[in-house]
Amino acid sequence: MNESRKFISGIVPLKERSEPAWWFIFQENKLLIYQKPESVTLPFLMDLNELGLIMIRQNYLGQLNNHHCYAVEVAEGTIPPAGMTFEGLREVYGRLDEDLFWIATRAIQIVDWDRTHQFCGRCGV
């Protein structure tokens, strides 16, 4: 990561957001991105409702340069907002800012863990 940008992981989000946050939004294993000719970027918004998406689950990741970061899963078949698309991390590698890319790799692991560990592996409850 760039020395000028610092990521501090965390698990407890603020109760109320007063500034925009980075949103790592996944549909299965694909990340929601803004498509630009030579690069891609992620949603940087106050609230996910600004995109009109319905989330299945949300996890707090921490802060990148004092901006909060969230990992979100949306339902299969969710249509991306205009100007956006869902792409795999392999496809966005080298086009997405390096700091955001490495946080996205953590985010997809947390989303996947949360999806697959809803019930006890021993008793199913």
Distance CA 95, CA 65 (A): 20
Tell me the pLDDT of the chain averaged across its residues.
Answer: 91
Q: What pLDDT was estimated at residue 2? A: 47
Q: Looking at per-residue confidence, does 15 or 60 come out higher?
A: 60
* pTM attached to this predicted model: 0.90
Distance CA 70, CA 61 (A): 5
Is the predicted pLDDT of residue 3 greater than 90, yes or no? no
Predicted confidence (pLDDT) per residue in 77-123, tens digit? 999 999 999 999 999 999 999 999 999 999 999 999 999 888 887 88
Q: How confident is the model at residue 1 (pLDDT cuts 50, 70, 90)?
A: very low
Percentage with pLDDT > 90 across the chain = 74
Is the predicted pLDDT of residue 18 greater than 90, yes or no? no
> What is the distance, to the nearest Å, from the Cα of residue 118 to the centroid of all Cα atoms in its chain?
19
Is the predicted pLDDT of residue 36 greater than 90, yes or no? no
> Going from the N-terminus, what domains does the chain have, and what CATH number goes with each?
7-116 (3.90.79)
Distance CA 33, CA 25 (A): 8
Q: What pLDDT was estimated at residue 121? A: 78
